[in-house]
């Protein structure tokens, strides 16, 4: 009987401790009322960052609506891959992946005034190329790219939330 009560009591105590010290889940931010809605426009189609950005905005309870005061525009996206290191046989041993997104935020109530002028966010990762298992290496690249897109989306959300509002 005592063992049954110990685990739930411990879990409750830990959750109270974490919330008391200000712990928050990664990627979740306080959102001012003035920034709780945004219009999202991707100039380049298809957009790889747009789904990740939509998800990051939803997680933070930011509604995506065309008639919002602020419009977040994804101006361009670029992904590159280059060989980072070579084996003795001159085969690629590691690849460096780089992704960058250019964006801006405009105030639609102030005739398109740039609240955040054109800005660039970037991320880089290096992964090992498994020459003996090409399928796994390709899957790994896809997974790393997805993580990079999530990181870029978080960077954009943080910058959006840094806007100084009138309220």
Give the model confidence (pLDDT) of 111-131 as tens digits.
Answer: 999 999 999 999 999 988 777
Distance CA 121, CA 113 (A): 21
Task: Indicate whether 152 belongs to any domain.
Answer: yes
pLDDT at position 129:
79
Q: In what order do the strands lie in the sheet with 70-86?
A: 63-64, 37-42, 70-86, 92-107, 113-128
Q: Which of 28-32, 52-56, 115-119 has the lowest mean pLDDT?
A: 28-32
The b-or-e profile of 31-46 (16+ CB within 10 A means b, else e) is beeebebbbbebeeee
Q: Is residue 15 part of a domain?
A: no
Q: Tell me, yes or no, whether 5 lies in a domain.
A: no
Report how far residue 153's alpha carbon sits from residue 50's, in angstroms, rounded to the nearest whole number: 8
- Which CATH number does the domain housing residue 106 bear? 3.30.160.150
Asked whether residue 88 is domain-assigned, the answer is: yes
Q: Is residue 23 in some structural domain?
A: no
Measuring CA to CA, how many Å separate 51 from each of 28, 40, 46, 101?
17, 11, 10, 14
Number of domains in the chain: 1
Asked whether the predicted pLDDT for residue 70 surpasses 80, the reply is yes
19 has a pLDDT exceeding 70 = no
- Asked if residue 146 is part of any domain, the answer here is yes
Would you say residue 67 has pLDDT above 70?
Answer: yes
Radius of gyration of the chain (CA): 21
Mean pLDDT of 88-103: 87
Domain ranges, residue 52:
39-161
In a domain, 58, yes or no: yes
Contact 74/91 with Cβ under 8 angstroms? no
């Amino acid at each position: 009987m005592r063992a049954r009560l110990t685990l739930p009591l411990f879990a409750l105590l830990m959750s109270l401790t974490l919330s008391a010290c200000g712990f928050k889940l990664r990627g979740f931010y306080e959102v001012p009322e003035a920034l709780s809605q945004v219009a999202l426009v991707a100039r380049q189609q298809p957009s790889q960052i747009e789904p990740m950005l939509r998800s990051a905005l939803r997680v933070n309870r930011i509604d995506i609506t065309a008639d919002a005061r602020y419009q977040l525009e994804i101006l361009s996206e670029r992904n590159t891959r280059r060989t980072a290191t070579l084996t003795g046989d001159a085969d690629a041993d590691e690849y460096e992946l780089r992704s960058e997104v250019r964006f801006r935020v405009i105030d639609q109530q102030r005739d398109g005034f740039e609240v955040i002028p054109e800005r660039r966010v970037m991320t880089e990762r290096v992964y090992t190329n498994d020459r003996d298992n090409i399928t796994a290496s390709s899957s790994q690249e896809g997974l790393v790219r997805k993580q990079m897109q999530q990181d870029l989306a978080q960077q954009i959300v943080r910058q959006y939330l840094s806007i100084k509002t009138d309220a």
